[in-house]
Amino acid sequence: MSEPLLNELSQVGRQGVRYPAPDVPLADLPDGLTRHDLPLPEVSEIDVVRHFTRLSQLNHSIDTGFYPLGSCTMKYNPKINEETARLPGFLWVHPLQPVETVQGSLALMYHLQESIKEIGGFAAVTLQPAAGAHGELTGVLIMRAYHAANGHTERKKILIPDSAHGTNPASSAMAGLQVVQLPSDARGNIDLAALEAECDDTLLGLMLTNPNTLGLFDEHLEDIVRLVHDAGGLMYGDGANMNALLGIARPGDLGIDVMHFNLHKTFSTPHGGGGPGSGPVAVSAALADFLPAPIVDIIEPGDEELPPLYGFVTPKHSIGRVKAFHGHFGIFVRAYTYILMHGAEGLRQVAENAVLNANYLMAKLKGTYPVPYERPCMHEFVAEGQVEGAPDVRALDIAKRLLDYGIHPPTNYFPLIVHEALMIEPTETESKQMLDGFVVALEQIAAEARTNPEVLHTAPHNTPVGRLDEVKAAKELILTWE
Ligand SMILES: *Cc1c(COP(=O)(O)O)cnc(C)c1O
């Protein structure tokens, strides 16, 4: 009998643990310390295991199926990352331990900082930010502090293309900046004339996602960087998704001054469901003094006998702390493992395969689902969720129907500049068989859309829950089991 058929697992007196005989004299707890009216479940160990294992299978996950969620980079999380993150020396450290007792952990953080500098072409890095959006806020605060230190408090305007991730304008607004949206041109690049018109002496900088959320590399990157720098502004790079660039191009070399990385996307650490992310921020030499404190550095160089001594330092004009303690350490271990496992050659191959897989899918699908900005894509591409001959079938219907095929839907209705957007990112970790299976599923869905649209409108049919009222679910959170 499966668990849902049981009304209530809890049975009075049932126990999941047996306590050993006490080796100290028994004593009653003082009055007021215990409550007897809490309705805690009384269950056995196997009840608990089945309950949570069943819950874990109600959702789609990267370990159970293909997850082509554009912009989110749902690549496979190698299990060796989990092994290293669970090494006792990493697992049991406490952030308040004296630095002499956590030298291994500091060494790992230092070398992760060095790797990020090398991969991105930057001079300095902070590992503190908790996720991408937090990295953006940190980055724009650094840009603001840099201009203020040069006497330019009037520089408050930040330019953000209309294809940008919604966190870009949100982070900028949180930092007290004035957000100006830039339109895209017909090829999906930033409209250069619009950019030029905004380049004045109130310009703080521009936030660029490149490749952008259409999966396209901006063909005028050099012009954009020149226009912004000539106007005294700084270039912010949204590096949440570095999957197309790893080992091929370094944003620092291309003129980006500040960039956040999402370890939970590009560097294969698990995410989703609001789990821990990590959004390190890297900067050019001119901005290094403004990074949040503390940063891990070598305090005393080592020699042939002794390893170097690592410790924390505070940059000269630091904007201060952006997070308690030192960031999400367990994620650092996973990301560093991934970087070391691949090495420089392997990381380049990651990018090559991610781009190849996305272009393969685009070529196979564009006859069925229109691709509005059609030129070679980077690690993802955006199609329209519209099928010829099925005018009332929408991207949402296609996305929901994919669930019946055991496939997580692509990101949909983003970016906003594509009608009925389906944003597809296969990642480098999927095989050709898997990609071909996805194409077959989408082609079958297109055929269903023409012959039996109702099956799409009412999808999904095979999942634990069907279509949800997402607005109501977000506004009326019910977080307890009644
Ligand atoms: C995911 C993403 C972000 C935000 O990262 P979070 O870790 O979710 O806060 C920002 N920009 C782009 C392009 C992204 O894909």
What pLDDT is attached to residue 6? 56
Rg of the chain taking only CA atoms, in angstroms: 25
Please check whether residue 138 lies inside any domain of the structure.
Answer: yes
pLDDT value of position 252: 98
Q: How far is the CA of 99 from the centre of ligand 1 (A)?
A: 32
Phi, then psi, of 151 in degrees rounded to 5: 80, 15
Is 73 part of any domain? no
* Ligand 1 center to 10 CA (angstroms): 41
Q: Is the pLDDT of residue 463 over 70?
A: yes
> Is it the case that residue 325 has pLDDT exceeding 60?
yes
Give the integer Cα–Cα distance in Å for 296 and 126: 8
- How many of the other CB atoms lie within 10 Å of CB of 114? 12
C-beta 69 within 6 A of ligand 1: no
Q: 50 to each of 9, 236, 310, how far by Cα in Å?
A: 11, 47, 45
137 belongs to a structural domain: yes
Shared-domain flag, residues 359 and 440: yes
85 within 8 A of 334, measured Cβ to Cβ: yes
Each residue's pLDDT tens digit, 153-177: 999 999 999 999 999 999 999 999 9
Average pLDDT over residues 203-216: 96
Average pLDDT over residues 311-318: 97
CATH number where 84 lies = 3.40.640.10
CA of 388 to the centre of ligand 1 (A): 33
Distances (CA, A) of 136 to 145, 148, 204, 272, 390: 14, 18, 14, 19, 41
- Domain-located, residue 66: no
Instruction: Please determine, for residue 380, whether its predicted confidence score (pLDDT) is greater than 50.
Output: yes
> What does the mean pLDDT of the chain come to?
94
Average pLDDT over residues 470-481: 85
Distance 165 CA to ligand 1 centre (A): 7
Which atom of ligand 1 approaches the CA of 136 most closely? 10
Single residue among 320, 340, 360 that ends a domain in this structure: 340
Please give the distance, rounded to the nearest whole angstrom, from the Cα atom of residue 241 to the centre of ligand 1: 8
Q: Are 88 and 231 part of one and the same domain?
A: yes
Cα 417 to averaged position of ligand 1 atoms, centre (Å)? 18
Query: 317 and 336, same structural domain?
Result: yes
463 and 355 both lie in a single domain: yes
* Residue closest by Cα to atom 15 of ligand 1: 71
Residue 358 lies in a domain: yes
pLDDT band at 4 (very low <50, low <70, confident <90, very high): low
For residue 382, give its domain range: 349-473
Q: Counting beta carbons within 10 angstroms of the beta carbon of residue 482, is it exposed (0 to 12), middle (13 to 18) or buried (19 or more)?
A: exposed
Angle (deg, nearest 10), helices 329-365 and 432-451 = 60
Q: For residue 271, what pLDDT band results from cuts at 50, 70 and 90?
A: confident
Q: Is the CB of 400 under 6 A from ligand 1?
A: no
Within the chain, what is the greatest distance between any pair of CA atoms?
82
Q: Are residues 219 and 260 in the same domain?
A: yes
444, amino acid identity: Q
Token pair in block for residue 13: 């007196």
Q: Which among 309, 340, 371 is the end of a domain?
A: 340
Q: How far is CA 390 from the centre of its chain?
A: 34
Report the residue among 209, 262, 269 best suited for mutation to probe ligand 1: largest number of ligand atoms under 8 A from its CB: 262
Residue 70 inside a domain? The answer is no
Q: Is the CB of 237 under 6 A from ligand 1?
A: no
Residue with tokens 């996805």: 438
Please report which confidence band the pLDDT of residue 35 belongs to, taking 50, 70 and 90 as the band edges. Answer: confident
Residue 5: pLDDT over 60: no
Residue 481 has what pLDDT?
66
In a domain, 67, yes or no: no
Q: What is the pLDDT of residues 124-148, one digit of tens each?
A: 999 999 999 999 999 999 999 999 9
Counting ligand 1 atoms within 8 A of each CB, the residue from 69, 162, 167 with the most, and so the one to mutate, is: 167
Q: Is residue 65 part of a domain?
A: no
Q: How confident is the model at residue 272 (pLDDT cuts 50, 70, 90)?
A: confident
Residue 267 CA to residue 76 CA, distance in Å, equals 10
Q: Give the number of the atom of ligand 1 that is nearest the alpha carbon of residue 134.
A: 9
Mean pLDDT of 374-389: 95
Q: How many domains does the chain have?
A: 3
Torsion of CA 267, 271, 272, 277, to 10 degrees: -100
pLDDT tens digits, one per residue of 382-420:
999 999 999 999 999 999 999 999 999 999 999 999 999
What type of residue sits at position 461? Answer: H
CATH of residue 402: 3.90.1150.10
Task: Pick from 72, 218, 238 the residue to mutate for probing ligand 1's pocket: most ligand atoms within 8 Å of its CB.
Answer: 238
Measure the N-to-C terminal CA separation of the chain; round to a whole number of Å. 22
Shared domain for 336 and 353, answered yes or no, is no
pTM attached to this predicted model: 0.92
Q: What's the CA-to-centroid distance between 445 and ligand 1, angstroms?
A: 29
Query: Dihedral, CA atoms, 56, 58, 63, 66, nearest 10 degrees?
Result: -160
d(CA 109, CA 111) in angstroms, rounded, equals: 6
The CB of 129 under 6 Å from ligand 1? The reply is: no
Same domain, 330 and 215: yes
Both 212 and 353 in one domain: the answer is no
Rounded Cα distance between 335 and 268, Å, is 7
Specify the DSSP element, H or E, that contains 229. helix 221-230
Q: Is the CB of 131 under 6 A from ligand 1?
A: yes
State the pLDDT at residue 7.
66
pLDDT tens digits, residue range 81-122?
Answer: 999 999 999 999 999 999 999 999 999 999 999 999 999 999
Query: Best of 165, 212, 322, 427 to mutate for ligand 1, by most ligand atoms within 8 A of CB?
Result: 165
Looking from the CA of residue 133, the nearest atom of ligand 1 is 9
Closest C-alpha to ligand 1, atom 5: 132
If asked whether residues 230 and 318 sit together in one domain, one would say: yes
Contact 242, 339 (CB under 8 A): no
Sign of CA dihedral 27, 32, 38, 40: negative
Higher pLDDT pick, 465 / 240 = 240
* 135 and 213 fall within a common domain: yes
Q: Is 356 left (phi over 0), alpha (psi -120 to 50) or beta?
A: alpha
Domain co-membership, 354 together with 324: no
Ligand 1 contacts CB of residue 262 (under 6 A): yes
Task: Determine if ligand 1 sits within 6 Å of the CB of residue 241.
Answer: yes
The CB of 132 under 6 Å from ligand 1? The reply is yes
Atom of ligand 1 nearest to the CA of 71: 15
Share of the chain above pLDDT 90, in %: 87
Q: Supply φ then ψ for residue 285, to 5 degrees.
A: -55, -35
**H-helix or E-strand spanning residue 391:** none
In DSSP notation, 292-339 reads: -S-EEEEEE---SSSPPEEEEE--TT----SSSTTS-HHHHHHHHHHH
Q: Are 183 and 207 contained in the same domain?
A: yes
